[in-house]
A and B are shown apart, each in its own frame.
Chain A
């Protein structure tokens, strides 16, 4: 255990991982932990401050919103959306980006040229603009939101995995496998993919953080998931009109987004240091 704690990145992984684990458990067990149904409106209880402030109620730990809905319960249900969208986007983009990266790097030539041109086009467009345009035209839906985020993130996986593949395919063990008659897909799946896993995991964590921010940004602008679903971004947006009268409406969901993103980024930093001690403390 002592040796483990001395390993580069251990404490970042431990701290970030612990917070992420608590968030995932809170989201999964939201129906049990939540003190109220997230959509229950009690107009007589509207705009109650946090329980420890003057005028707060013990029944509503983090207060209530303009319609008298319990903020703590909505935060828990909001975590479900943020994490679901973030994880689905990170995994979806990971699968697509890694596949294209492997094919592009391994086969090279025209395939590589075409894939890299597509990557360039994706990088030549400010992503949030693309996301807003698509959501504005297609209407708000969870599925489309995830698809839009996948469109944003796959490029990074593709570039990194391609680079790894280019370096790995000339290694002796891959050449040996091919000489012994291994098919291309066997060499890719058995030899190149497992050796590209470390950078993919690192990108996946940063990708998760970035997707959570993008999802909440789009929800904040009213272009994320449909309005009836509570999300941290939409809660924050609703609180904007009461910035001075009820600042907790904006502050609490913001803290949740911030803590989640910082925990995921910390996890990413830790995983990077763990897999590549040569860059320990460099960034």
Chain B
């Protein structure tokens, strides 16, 4: 097990290197001069020349790359031109918000998708199955930015059940930390009112981000359960007189779990990518909304840092999913 984790960790190194190359080339491959991305549109040629020197773009490409790499090794991506703070500190401040939203979305997807898939698979071909399958098809077909707007208009605006944006009102919590995962922090401080406020802000974005994944999980759970149900060992379990609930939960579901975990792993990319859109729709102060505003403000050093950290988060979440296979199915050998 330890050697597998070590092997997988080592396997991450080339991927992280390729991400770094991409992040470095982001500015270099821009059409024209890279500093044009960093300067206002009315910059004079003297401004451009000065900026080339200041940012070191007048040096050979390989020198720039090695400097960038040396900085990246200590997670130094320079300073944001807009916030005049280090990119690392800005990103670290926003990272928990994005992760909290992503985990909540996966939680929503699992508590909706898995039961729906199980219900559909237990009564294949019935009205219940058709309804659950239609819900799954709707889930994978709904564009999340539209779903978010519809939820804001109806559940937030018309019915007034939920706040329509933001993560928490600025005066709602009288403390900060220790984790910056606000739900967790309110629990740690025993602040139940704060917990309710944070949760009410989280529900709509989490549903918006989790719906497509829920649809996908529902479809995979159903197909995976149906496949396992026809296996000989299930017939054997039933013929031994084991009750139906145990057969379903311990025999069918447990064996159907691997494809479900695989799809959760594959969908992490769409959750992380989707969070960029959902954060923008709900004004959620995470890395996704920061990326879009930084692009708008031409703060490209910050953009580089955000792209790197989002990609890195994705790589490590995938690593955790890979390792979790071993716990779910001990037959898997590495």
Q: Which residues of B contact A126 (CB under 8 A)?
A: 268-270, 272-273, 310-311, 314
**B292, A221: Cβ atoms under 8 Å?**
yes
Q: Are B273 and A129 within 8 A (Cβ)?
A: yes
Q: How many residues of A contact B (CB 8 A)?
A: 44
Binds B, one of A90-98, A168-176, A242-250: A242-250
Q: Are B30 and A138 in contact (CB under 8 A)?
A: yes
Within 85-119 of A, Cβ neighbours of B (below 8 Å) are at: none
Cα A217 to Cα B138 with chains together (Å)? 17
**Known interface pairs A129-B276, A132-B295, A240-B149. Does A261 touch B15 (Cβ–Cβ under 8 Å)?**
no
Alpha-carbon gap, A276 to B205, bound state (A): 38
* Chain A residues closer than 8 Å to B144, beta-carbon distance: 217
- Decide: B143 and A137 in contact? CB cutoff 8 A: no
Say which residue of A223, A253, A283 sits within 8 Å of B219 (CB atoms).
A283
A254 touches B222 (CB 8 A): no
User: Residues of B contacting A132 with CB < 8 Å?
Assistant: 276, 291-292, 295
Inter-chain contacts of B141 with A (CB < 8 A)? 209, 258, 261-262, 265
Interface residues of A in 213-229 (CB under 8 A from B): 213, 216-217, 220-221, 223
0/1 interface trace, chain A 132-170, chain B, CB 8 Å (1 if under) = 110011110000000000000000000000000000000
Is B87 in the interface zone, CB < 8 Å from A?
A: no
Secondary structure of the B contact surface, majority rule: helix
B residues in contact with A243, CB < 8 Å: 149, 152-153, 157
Would you give the shortest CB distance from B66 to chain A, in whole angstroms?
22
Partner of B150, one of A213, A233, A251, A282: A251
| Interface check A2, CB cutoff 8 A | no
Asked if A128 lies at the interface with its beta carbon under 8 angstroms from chain B, I say yes
Least Cβ distance of B24 to chain A in Å? Answer: 12
Across the interface, B30 reaches (CB within 8 A) one of A121, A137, A254, namely: A137
CA distance A243 to B150 in the complex (A): 9
Q: Are A138 and B153 interface neighbours, CB within 8 A?
A: no
- The verdict on B112 contacting chain A, using a C-beta distance below 8 Å, is no
For A123, list chain B residues within 8 Å (CB).
Answer: 269
Task: Contacts A236-B145, A262-B137 given; indicate if A254 touches B125 (C-beta within 8 A).
Answer: no
Contact string, A243-275, partner B, CB cutoff 8 A, digits 1/0? 110010011011001100110011001000000
CA distance A231 to B217 in the complex (A): 30
Known contacts A236-B149, A258-B143, A127 near B269 by CB under 8 Å = yes
Count of B interface residues, CB-CB < 8 Å: 52
* Residue from the list B124, B277, B291, B315 in contact with A281, Cβ < 8 A: B124
Number of A-B pairs, beta carbon distance below 8 Å: 125
Q: Is the CB of A125 within 8 A of B145?
A: no
Q: Give bound CA distance, A160 to B152, whole Å.
A: 39
B137 CB, min distance to chain A CBs, angstroms: 6
Q: In this assembly, does A124 line the interface, its C-beta being within 8 Å of a C-beta of chain B?
A: yes
Q: How far is the CB of A79 from chain B (nearest CB, A)?
A: 15
| Interface assignment of A279: CB less than 8 Å from any CB of chain B | yes
> Considering only CB atoms, which chain A residue lies closest to B164 in the complex?
A243
Contact with A along B144-166 (1 / 0, CB 8 A): 11100110110001000000000
Q: Whose C-beta in chain A lies nearest to the C-beta of B306? A: A129
Residues of B within 8 A of A261 (CB): 141-143
Q: A137-B26, A265-B137, A266-B137 are in contact. Are A129 and B145 (CB under 8 A)?
A: no
A-B contact pairs, 30 of them (CB 8 A): A124-B18, A124-B314, A125-B269, A125-B314, A126-B270, A126-B311, A128-B277, A132-B276, A132-B295, A133-B26, A133-B303, A136-B303, A137-B29, A137-B30, A137-B37, A209-B141, A217-B277, A221-B292, A236-B149, A243-B153, A243-B157, A247-B153, A251-B150, A254-B150, A257-B143, A261-B143, A266-B137, A281-B125, A282-B223, A283-B219
* 9 more CB-based (< 8 A) A-B contacts, given A139-B31, A257-B146: A132-B291, A132-B292, A137-B30, A137-B37, A217-B145, A221-B276, A247-B153, A253-B146, A261-B142
**4 closest Cβ contacts across the A-B interface?**
A128-B273, A283-B223, A254-B146, A262-B141
Binding site for A on B (CB under 8 A): 15, 18-19, 22, 26-27, 29-31, 37, 124-125, 137-138, 140-146, 149-150, 152-153, 157, 219-220, 222-223, 226-227, 268-270, 272-274, 276-277, 280-281, 291-292, 295, 303, 307, 310-311, 314-315, 318
